[in-house]
Copies of this chain bind each other. A is one copy, B any other.
Amino acid sequence: MTLPTHADVLRAAARIAPHAHVTPVLRSRSLDALAGCELHFKAEPLQRAGAFKFRGACNAVWSLEEAEARAGVVTHSSGNHGAALALAARTRGIACHVVVPEGAVAAKLAAIEAYGGILHRCAPTIRAREEATVRVQRDTGATLVHSYADPRVIAGQGTAALELLNATGGLDVLVTPVGGGGLASGCSLALSGLAPACELLLAEPAGAADTARSLAAGRPELDFVPDTICDGLRATLGAPGFELLRAYGARVAVVEDDDTLDALRLLSSRLKLVVEPSSAIAFAAVLQQRERLAGKRVGVVLSGGNVDLGTLAQWIR
């Protein structure tokens, strides 16, 4: 397993600069007062395709040699990564194949197709998904870009933390959500070269707390059935994520979904930002850890805002 490095994050930043947004860093004195610390929110809902996922996808797509690139890319994802990879592939004018399980949310599939992605449907099992992915690779020669285990993806996600560090001039603590670990470990790489004393706090749903268990045990503990509204955080921690987060000494805050929804409402009403639960959880972790964070400069990566409006309406009403 090749692990990406801080230098890879710097290279990713240069590579994606022509395509990705440098998203704003938002402040709110009322949320600062509520949390008892100085908050700097990295607003990735304002990233292209509505989530940080575009960073990693874009870095992967533009890392390919010309000959590789011509055969396109492939991934399996029914969520933000599929749409982000389709959009990234479009920025290079290459094909993007996305293997999706039958029964996936129609709106997500429509987003992938809207960005020009080619859908390949398969039965909703891991085995069917892997077979379908291998088949597409064999038939098309497309390069696999895994949503959180690919080193190019991890390095790309780290650019969010790089920009946040540059915009704020330094942080005591960085808070990110953790699911498969692509964003979290990419951020650990950004910190390692620029701000190695900065604490990395991971926000993880109680119903999918494999990262908390794995880091506590010192080995991957991935056997669980996810049960959380944070649909972007249901994946199990990837092997590179585990190594990088352990090496950095990341801590985990385990958060209940009800607290995540409270945080989502606060971000809607005070920060005026539409976020998905998988993002709001990072702010919920801040509120949970307010004693430890008191008076500190805290960066919070709000990772994405792709949420069905009807569902959002139910959460905020």
A residues lining the B interface (CB < 8 Å): 21, 24, 26-27, 29, 45-46, 48, 50, 265, 268-269, 271-275, 305, 309-310, 312-314, 316-317
Give A269's nearest chain B residue, CB to CB.
B309
Chain B residues, Cβ within 8 Å of A274: 268-269, 272-274
Q: Are B309 and A268 in contact (CB under 8 A)?
A: yes
Chain B residues, Cβ within 8 Å of A24: 24, 26, 46
Chain B residues, Cβ within 8 Å of A314: 313, 317
Min CB–CB distance A277 → chain B (angstroms) = 14
15 examples of A-B residue contacts, CB within 8 angstroms:
A24-B24, A24-B26, A45-B272, A46-B272, A265-B309, A268-B274, A268-B312, A272-B274, A272-B275, A273-B273, A274-B274, A309-B316, A312-B316, A314-B317, A317-B317
Give A317's nearest chain B residue, CB to CB.
B313
Judged by DSSP, the binding face of A is helix
Chain B residues, Cβ within 8 Å of A48: 29
Min CB–CB distance A264 → chain B (angstroms) = 10
Give A27's nearest chain B residue, CB to CB.
B21
Chain B residues, Cβ within 8 Å of A310: 316-317
Contact partner of A313 (CB less than 8 A), chosen from B26, B46, B50, B316, is B316
Give A44's nearest chain B residue, CB to CB.
B272
Give A315's nearest chain B residue, CB to CB.
B313
| Central interface residue in A265, A272, A274, by most chain B CB within 10 Å | A272
Contact partner of A272 (CB less than 8 A), chosen from B269, B305, B313, B316, is B305
> Whole-angstrom distance between the alpha carbons of A45 and B271 in the complex?
8
Min CB–CB distance A53 → chain B (angstroms) = 14
Q: Are A50 and B272 in contact (CB under 8 A)?
A: yes
> Whole-angstrom distance between the alpha carbons of A6 and B20 in the complex?
36
> Whole-angstrom distance between the alpha carbons of A312 and B314 in the complex?
10
Q: Name 18 extra pairs, CB < 8 A, besides A273-B273, A309-B316, A309-B317.
A: A21-B27, A24-B24, A24-B26, A26-B46, A50-B272, A265-B309, A268-B309, A268-B312, A272-B273, A272-B274, A272-B275, A272-B305, A310-B317, A312-B316, A313-B313, A313-B317, A314-B317, A317-B317
